[in-house]
Amino acid sequence: MFDRFRRTRINPTLRNLLRETKVSVDDFIYPLFVRSGEGIKTEVASMPGVYQMSLDEVLKECSELSKLGLNSIILFGIPDVKDSIGSDSLCEHGIIANAVREIKKEYPDMFVVTDLCFCEYTDHGHCGIIDENETVNNDATLEISAQQAIIHAKAGVDMIAPSGMMDGIIVTLRETLDGAGYENLPIMSYSTKFASGYYGPFRDVAESTPSFGDRSSYQMDPANRREAIAESISDELQGADILMVKPVLAYLDIVREIKDATSLPMAVYNVSGEYAMLKMAGMNDLIDYDRVVMETMISFKRAGADIIISYHAKEVALMLKDQK
């Protein structure tokens, strides 16, 4: 009698009218892994449904995605040759530059984002240049990051997403892009990125597991809440256009807190290990996969995410299509 919410739950149309959080295909950016060759589409063992693809296969994928209304992708490159400074990523005919050019040529309406980092391109698997004492040299990495940004910009990328968490990366990239005439190219910063065990499967796909040490000197301690907020605010002040929390499932409190502390849009990265957990549980019939995926996507939006970067994006697009 006194619970007004009960009354409004009965009719499904009214329930839908009152739903506070909705998931749409427009919320998503879909990650794609590009490698060289032709006709290659290799499924990643730790991430069923996720593939390393050669460029011709990526182009076919783009056609499928746009039919589903999924028009944003983030690209990761797997170069043929890795070296100490990630040279492939600094060259106009490297794997990513080629991919961006070809995709934008065939699918000009596809919104193409590039992950800007070095771990996929270096033989040691770290996110930057390594010193004699086996630590990442922040400032030397800033210099080559600026070079990589210009390579991506020239290839025609729509947004860059620096993921290495180097100090001063955002202001460096903003000044570099502005100086080169790319004032309108947005930067989505991996602003609050935790040193996380959830990246395990990604490192299989990108073949980027560090050959020594770990990333805890440049990625954040999962225990630190105030530092997490400060890292994102620092990137806002440096000129980032979009902030990010990564991973997301174990950090929904941080998403909400940063959202409340900034006026910038927020992205979340639903990472490889999070995808793998649901996938494996679903494949073993332990959960109703589609239902749990949707419930999880809603939790991201409820926490404050404007953008969801997720390996589930294509499946979600299909689910949303079937609902209609």
Residue ranges in contact with ligand PBG by CB under 6 A: 115, 117, 119, 127, 163-164, 199, 202-203, 271-272
- The helix/strand/coil state of 26 is helix
Residue type, 63: S
Nearest to 114 by CA among 132, 95, 127, 128: 95
Minimum CB separation of residue 86 from ligand PBG in Å reads 11
Minimum CB separation of residue 197 from Zn ion in Å reads 16
Rounded to an integer, what distance in angstroms lies between the CA atom of residue 157 and that of residue 241?
Answer: 15
Contact between 96 and Zn ion by CB under 5 A: the answer reads no
Minimum CB separation of residue 319 from ligand PBG in Å reads 21
| Residues 124-153 interacting with Zn ion (rule: CB under 5 A) | 127
Closer CB to Zn ion, 73 or 161, in the complex: 161
Rounded to an integer, what distance in angstroms lies between the CA atom of residue 93 and that of residue 79?
Answer: 11
Closer CB to ligand PBG, 119 or 169, in the complex: 119
Select from Zn ion, ligand PBG, none the partner in contact with residue 115, using the beta carbon and a kind-dependent cut-off of 5 to 8 Å: ligand PBG
Rounded to an integer, what distance in angstroms lies between the CA atom of residue 71 and that of residue 25?
Answer: 9
Select from Zn ion, ligand PBG, none the partner in contact with residue 271, using the beta carbon and a kind-dependent cut-off of 5 to 8 Å: ligand PBG
Give the active site residues.
193, 246
Select from ligand PBG, Zn ion, none the partner in contact with residue 240, using the beta carbon and a kind-dependent cut-off of 5 to 8 Å: none
Give the ranges where the chain is alpha helix by DSSP (H). Answer: 4-7, 12-17, 55-67, 95-106, 138-155, 169-179, 200-205, 225-238, 252-261, 272-283, 289-303, 313-323
Contact between 166 and Zn ion by CB under 5 A: the answer reads no
The helix or strand, by DSSP H or E, that contains position 160, with its residue range, turns out to be: strand 159-162
Stretch near Zn ion under the rule CB under 5 A, chosen from 78-86, 113-121, 170-178, 194-202:
113-121
Minimum CB separation of residue 93 from Zn ion in Å reads 22
Closer CB to ligand PBG, 180 or 210, in the complex: 210
Size (the chain), residues: 324
- The helix/strand/coil state of 88 is helix
Contact between 206 and Zn ion by CB under 5 A: the answer reads no
